[in-house]
Structure 1
Amino acid sequence: MQILGLIAVGLVIGALARLLQPGRQRMSVLATVLLGVAGAVLGGLLADWLDVGSITELNFWGFLFAVLAAVLLVGVAEGVAAARNRAVR
């Protein structure tokens, strides 16, 4: 059951990250979920490290760090995809 919850949270966080990222992203729903889950884990770890939250609970700071981490991950993924497309041409 926790896996389904993590996927749902990852979808929400990934969607928010894509909304906050300027420009158009050409990513699949699966990539959005995966980057959202990765952002949630990284944000939870950062909140835990700063002692303002925990990776196992969803509070304001953990959610904020998760969204920021996902925005960074979406930006990196778009940069890598753009560089790969330029190299192919």
Structure 2
Amino acid sequence: MGILAWILFGLIVGAIAKLLMPGDQKGGWIMTIILGIVGALVGGFVAGLIGIGDDGNPWDFGTIAVSVIGAIIVLLIYGALTRRNP
């Protein structure tokens, strides 16, 4: 996938993950893209570990779902690392 396609995919996945996450997440659209791309990578890695095959099509429902789950995991980790305790 080309770099522009990865950016678009990351934006879509990151936006879906932020919509599904409860609470207020910090970060603008650039952080959304970064979290989406990293989430897609994490989701793909986890899917490979549990034996879910990759058909090579990044735009199918299964790939997007696994990527959103990965982005949610990354968003939880990011939130835990950037949380300020008053």
Alignment RMSD, CA only? Answer: 2.0
Specify the alignment match of 1:72 in structure 2.
Answer: 73
Secondary structure of 1:7's partner? Answer: helix
Within a 5 Å distance, the mapping from 1:6-85 to structure 2 comes to 6-54=6-54, 56-58=56-58, 59-82=60-83, 85=84
Q: Which has the higher contact order (CA 8 A, sep 6+)?
A: 2
Q: Does the CA-based 8 Å contact 1:10-1:37 persist in structure 2?
A: yes
Greater share of residues in helix: 1
Higher Cα radius of gyration: 1
Q: TM-score, with normalisation over the residues of structure 2?
A: 0.82
Structure 2: runs of 5 or more not aligned: none
- Structure 1 residue 56 displacement after superposition: 4.1
Percent of residue pairs identical:
31
Structure 1: runs of 5 or more not aligned: none
Write the deviation string for residues 21-43 of structure 1: whole angstroms up to 9, x where unpaired: 00111112111111100111122
Q: How many residues align?
A: 85
